[in-house]
Chains A and B, each alone.
Chain A
Amino acid sequence: MARSLPGFLALIVAVALICCSFAAAASTFQPISESHRSAALETFDRSYGSLEETYEALQTFDVLGVERKPDVGTAACQSVSQTLVSSSSTLKDIFYALKVNGVLKCEVDADSVEGIVSTLQTAVGSASSLLEFYHSIGGLVLVKNQALKDDLYLADAEGVFRSIKALSQSDGRWRYSSSNPESSTYAAGLALEALAGVISLSSSEIDQSLIGTTKNDILKLFERVEKYDDGAVYFDGEESDAHENQGPITSTWSVIRGITSFAAVTSGNLNLPGEKILGLAKFFLGVGIPGDAKDFFNQVDSLACLENNRVAIPLILSLPATVNSLTRKDTLKVKVSTVLGSDAPPLKIKLVRAKDTPAIESQELKFDSANKVHVLDTLEKSVDVGNYIFVFEIVFNDPEHKKAYAVESKTEVPIFLTGAVKVGNAKIAVLDSDLGSIETQNLDFAGENLVSLGANHLQKLKLRFQLTTPLGHPFKPHQAILKLTHESKVEHVFVVGNTGKQFEIVLDFLGLVEKFYYLSGKYEIQLTVGDAVMNSFFRVIGHLDLDLPEAPEKAPRPPVQPADVYSRYGPKAEIAHIFRAPEKRPPQELLRLGVNLKNFPSAAAPAAFAALFHVGIGAVLLLYVFFWLKLDLFTTLKILGFLGVFLLFVGHRTLSHLASTSSKVKSA
């Protein structure tokens, strides 16, 4: 029997929603509550641009049971009628107009219905992309569910099924069209919903093998889920330029819609593990209150789909209060409900154990049918203050429910048990090494009396007290601090030590003289005791007149207490930056043709040699000219011999002189 989404969403509206107030829950999930409803009013309190936005707002109000403004309804109905009558409406517009109609149940006349149905049927026949299939088939399903037309069937449903199936990929995702290789999880959700629509609109049975392969696709898709540590499970979206809305919230919403609608129209199991369905519910509950309207709608719509689906209905175990006071004799209340807060089937909750605390035994919680909570009221007799992690287990009264519902096998919940911790046996005394205790005063933390003591640097101050829990055991808090403040606002902090049964601190002033900067005078004594599970306090116990010797010359001065606390944030001294002098760069030298007279030795003797060197070379070249003109080889060679020897001698002198000067320059 084909179940339609708008149908059982209307069912949900009829269910009473229980509101629960709760303290901050550490790692538990809470079902939808009153704060969601007020947030919905705020988020959707604006004018809606398109039919899509109108539908999202109306659907959210519907699921949460929030009353919408009356003019919104009439305006939306007008827009719906216009869209359904107009021949220029796109498939998407018609689809969302029908969706809005499903929520508002406007009056739609039969002629426009006929026109719409024929448009949609033609669109199905000629559709080629996934979005065209989705909008046209979705529209026809909506028409059928709103009973606007009887006997509505798809011609060639199996062919349409195959065409949609052809766009699937082996990893479970779907492509948008056969020409575009882009695929996404969001598209997979749309495709599954469209396939569910085809099955519901077909007049005859679709081939079971096709349905079987689709179920395999769903299983493959679920292999792609991402997990958080707290058990939440979601689908990560894909980046896409062409299509927006590919984030995790939208992709997960789309898949949830797809599988719940597919499971609604097919017989047999989808074989999806219950933890994954529960994980999807946890993901959306863990989002809290989204700020964006689209995310809000996606969250609420997904939870509405999960509330009453045929795969497995997730049940959430939540505690209205995780902080319980033993002194006030609070009882621990535990609630099990669906994601939207509706009642769960009859079941029992067992406290299996508390982690790391063997003293707490396994016990069953009593069900209070008036308030629909399970109560544990034996706590204060056996359990002391502290923070624990309780492990709960859910057992259904009817074992058949185990298949239909998805619950966590063992839920771990952090619990704070607080109580009033009594301070007893408090004594403060000034001790003298010779005389023993000079004065001992009993401290009464309840009263307002301040003690007044006097001491000098040879004496000691001793403070002692005990802390007892409501059950009579000694208690060790997180902090026990004693603070002495001088008149000049100089403070000294000491940690009070614990000797198992009691707290004690002894301040030996002889050793503390330097620490106190030799400041004599009146010191205020303040005791701070704090922990998460007790009634923490800090109290001024009294005053101490301390007499310390004079400070020597080199004693450390006490730190200057800033008169104005914010003066340290004033502007600092200006920093002048020193830049390095720029490097000397050689002058830009372009290539010049000329005589390079650099390195011509300036001293007399080497200069003469250098000049002779050049003259010698010139003479040889002149000789060659003569050789060519007149002389013969042998004469030339004779003269060349003489000139060569001379040139060698002179050249050697010059060049070695040059070499020595350049090596001097290099080493210098």
Chain B
Amino acid sequence: MGRSSTVKETQALFQSLRSAYAATPNNLKIIDVYVGFAVLTAVIQVVYMAVVGSFPFNSFLSGVLSCIGTAVLAVCLRIQVNKDNKEFKDVAPERAFADFILCNLVLHLVIMNFMG
């Protein structure tokens, strides 16, 4: 009796999460997709390394780090662009996007250097 009720509760929880998420604006959803893509790429690289071996290690590190780094930058962008977030009300979304682009370029320069 108890188990089915917890199952029902988790189902209800997911339902409510899904319906709440559907309400988020589209631009945030795009950023979320991008973050998801970056993390997925990182996971694929780790799996590849686990299969093939970690030589050369620096390549692996740079690859994973680039994915994680861009994911982190995208999350920062999302935080700054989200209208509900009161701390970043003064920051125009375009400024946040410019920061995102700049940081990404710097990150990729470093990565390219490290990759060898």
Contact = CB atoms under 8 A, between A and B. Distances in A.
B89 interface: no
Given A589-B26, A591-B33, A636 B94 contact: no
Interface string B11-39: 00000000000000010011001000000
Interface stretch (B1-9, B40-48, B71-79, B101-109): B101-109
B33 A655 contact: no
B112 interface: yes
A624 B92 contact: no
Interface in B72-116: 92-95, 97-98, 101, 105, 108-109, 112-113, 115
Nearest to A621: B108
Interface residues of A, number: 21
A478 to B, nearest CB: 68
B95 A628 contact: no
Contacts of A593: 33
Interface in A609-657: 617, 620-621, 624, 627-628, 633, 636, 640, 644, 651-652, 655-656
A589 B29 CA distance: 11
Contacts of B112: 624, 627-628, 636
Nearest to B96: A655
Contact of B94 (A591, A627, A658): A658
Chain A binding site: helix, strand, loop or mixed by DSSP? Answer: helix
A480 B68 CA distance: 99
A209 interface: no
A561 interface: no
Contacts of B101: 617, 651
Given A589-B26, A628-B115, A655 B95 contact: yes
A591 B29 contact: yes
A126 interface: no
A659 B94 contact: yes
A596 interface: yes
Contacts of A651: 98, 101
B109 A636 contact: yes
A624 B108 contact: yes
Nearest to B94: A655
A656 B109 CA distance: 26
Interface in A275-309: none
Contacts of A617: 101, 105
Nearest to B33: A591
A593 B105 CA distance: 23
Interface of B: 26, 29-30, 33, 92-95, 97-98, 101, 105, 108-109, 112-113, 115
Interface of A: 589, 591, 593, 596, 617, 620-621, 624, 627-628, 633, 636, 640, 644, 651-652, 655-656, 658-659, 662
11 contacts: A593-B33, A596-B30, A627-B113, A633-B113, A636-B112, A652-B98, A655-B94, A656-B94, A658-B94, A659-B95, A662-B93
Given A655-B95, A659-B93, 8 more contacts: A589-B26, A591-B33, A624-B109, A627-B109, A636-B109, A636-B112, A652-B98, A659-B92
